Structure 1
Amino acid sequence: MPILEVENLSISFNQYTTGLKQKNIQVISSLNVTLEEGEILAVVGASGSGKSLLAHAILGILPDNATISGTIKYNGEVLTNSQQASLRGKEIALIPQSTNYLDPLMRVGNQVRTSVRTGDATLAQRAVFKRLHLKQNVEKMFPFQLSGGMARRTLLSTAIVSDAKVIIADEPTPGLDPVVIKEALSNFREFADNGCAVMLITHDIESALTIADKIAVFYAGTTVEVAPVENFTGDGEGLRHPYSKALWRALPQNEFIPIPGSQPHPSALPSGCLFAPRCIKATAACSQQQPEMRELRNGMVRCIHAT
């Protein structure tokens, strides 16, 4: 049984427009992902595709103007708001994208120690700082005294010492030097090998492929494909969805072929398949309704033409 299941998740935001009129904008629709113990699932996609919103929905930290439907299960049980609050930072840990999550009024060493649940908190904090190449004097600093890379390593430290069963890492490596990036990625692999489940949200597909077991591809607020990492090779012939193939071929280390058009804004989503206006395989049937996720060749895909 997966430790974390997200089924048909939809998220919309109620916003005010001119004349104090309200408008409901759907930013995520029918999104599905599952996460197994001992597995790293990398979530990739363009900015605005819903990657960070998924993380916030799992943790129950969406803003008050958000409306959510669908189900999120942890260990087979549907998560309630109170359960999300009790698990947050304990059994489910977030490494956030923004370093603003650090408390500006608290020394960073103390912040990391608050995440330690067993053993000597000071020893655990100092050991993880040494592991991530943070000098001991850093523990006495406040967040404003840290460089961007140091702040990210501090956030990473809180997850490492937490002994969480699920770690959601939202773009954890930008601003880090190559040595620390390699160390951070190896930490995630170590977590998974020890039974933890890791969701790695990233733009860096190449780095994700070095440690992940599966890749979930997001587009315009939904999952279009979930594939084993082995499928991301060659010219993408092993992939299932046209967007996944185009995204793979657009990388500089591959054919560097741009994808015509752009991802639609949540307020102007097309009917039917969200990728259809940019897809070379699109037919009239694609505009009738959004395809359901289906199993195909040891993966999942949302496309009626995928074979």
Structure 2
Amino acid sequence: MPILEVEDLSISFQQYTVGLKQKNHQVISSLNISLFAGEILAVVGASGSGKSLLAHAILGILPSNAIMSGTMKYAGEELTLKRQISLRGKEIALVPQSVNYLDPLMRVGKQVRTSVNDGDAVLAQRKVFERYHLKPDVENMYPFQLSGGMARRTLLSTAMVSGAKVIIADEPTPGLDPVVIDEALNNFREFADNGCAVMLITHDIESALKIADKIAVFYAGTTVEVAPVDNFTGDGELLRHPYSKALWRALPQNDFIPIPGSQPHPSSLPPGCLFAPRCEKATPKCGLAQPEMRKLRDGMVRCIHAT
């Protein structure tokens, strides 16, 4: 049974337009992912594809104008708002994308200690700071005194000392030097190998390939494919969805072939398959309805033409 399961998640935001008219912008539609204990699921996709919104939905920290439908379960039970609050920072921990999540009025050592749920908090904080090459005097600093890389390592430390069963890491490595990046990735892998679960949200497919078990590809607010990590090889011939293949081939280390067109804005989503306007395989049938996710070759795909 998955430790974390998201089924048919849709999120829209209610906004006011000219004349105080209300309009809903759907930014996530029919999104599905499953996360199992002992594995790392990497979530990749272009900016605006819904990766960070998924993390915020799981933790129950969406803004007040968000309208959400679908089902989220943790350890087999529905993830209600009350349950999200009780689990947040304890059994489910977030490494946020922005360093602004640090409290500007609290010394960073104390902030990390407040995330320790068991054992000696001071000892745990000092050990994790040493692991991430943060000098002893850093614990007495305020966030404004940290460099960008130091602030990111502090956020990583906060999640790592929590003892959580699930870590959601939202772009945890930008601004870090290669040594610290490798250290962080190895720690995520160690975390999973000890029976916990990691969702790694990233633009960096190469980093994901080093540690992930599966990769979920997002496009325009939905999951288009979930594939074993070893499918990302060669010309992408083992991948299932046209977007996944195009994304893989667009990387500089591969063919460096750009994908024509652009990801649609939430206010102007096409009917049917969201990738159809950019897809070489698209047929009139693709525009009738958004395909359902289906199992295919030890993975999942949302495409009627995938084989």
Query: Shorter-chain TM-score: which interval?
Result: over 0.9
Mind listing any 5+ residue stretches in structure 2 that lack a counterpart? none
Do structure 1's residue 185 and structure 2's residue 185 form an aligned pair?
Answer: yes
Q: What is the TM-score normalised by the length of structure 1?
A: 1.00
Please say if 1:35 is aligned against 2:35: yes
Q: TM-score, normalised by structure 2?
A: 1.00
Q: Structure 2 counterpart of 1:18, which letter?
A: V
| Structure 1 position 148 matched with structure 2 position 145 | no
Q: CA RMSD in A?
A: 0.3
Structure 1 segments, 4+ long, off by >3 Å, are: none
Matches within 5 A, 1:261-280: 261-280=261-280
What amino acid sits opposite 2:110 in the alignment?
N
Deviations 1:197-254 (A, max 9, x none): 0000000000100000000000000000000001000000000000000000000000
What is the identity, as a one-letter code, of the residue corresponding to 2:298?
N
Query: Matches of residues 64-103 of structure 1 in structure 2 within 5 Å?
Result: 64-103=64-103
1:283 to 2:280 alignment: no
Name the counterpart of 2:58: 58
Q: Which amino acid aligns with 1:199?
A: M
Alpha-carbon separation, structure 2, partners of 1:24 and 1:116: 40
Query: C-alpha distance in 2, partners of 1:77/1:229?
Result: 28
Q: Deviations 1:105-147 (Å, cap 9, x if unpaired)?
A: 0000000000111111001000000000000000000000000
The structural deviation recorded for 1:22 is 1.0
Amino acid at match of 1:143: P
2:120 maps to which residue? 120
Q: Write the distance in 2 (CA, Å) between the matches of 1:120 and 1:241.
A: 48
Cα distance in structure 2, aligned partners of 1:289 and 1:20: 31
Structure 1: runs of 5 or more not aligned: none
Correspondences of 1:125-274 after superposition (within 5 Å): 125-274=125-274
- Partner residue, 2:45: 45
Secondary structure (helix, strand or coil) at the match of 1:19 reads helix
Tell me the secondary structure at the aligned position of residue 262 of structure 2.
Answer: coil
Q: Which residue of 2 aligns with 1:13?
A: 13
**Which residue number in structure 1 is paired with residue 109 of structure 2?**
109
The one-letter code matched in structure 2 to 1:176 is L
In 1, the alpha carbon distance for the partners of 2:116 and 2:75 equals 23
1:19, distance to aligned residue in structure 2 (A): 1.6
Using the TM superposition, give the Cα deviation of residue 274 of structure 1 relative to its aligned residue in structure 2, in angstroms.
0.1
Give, in whole Å, the separation in 2 of the partners of 1:25 and 1:84: 25
Aligned length: 307
Q: In the aligned structure 2, how far is the partner of 1:18 from the partner of 1:144? A: 39
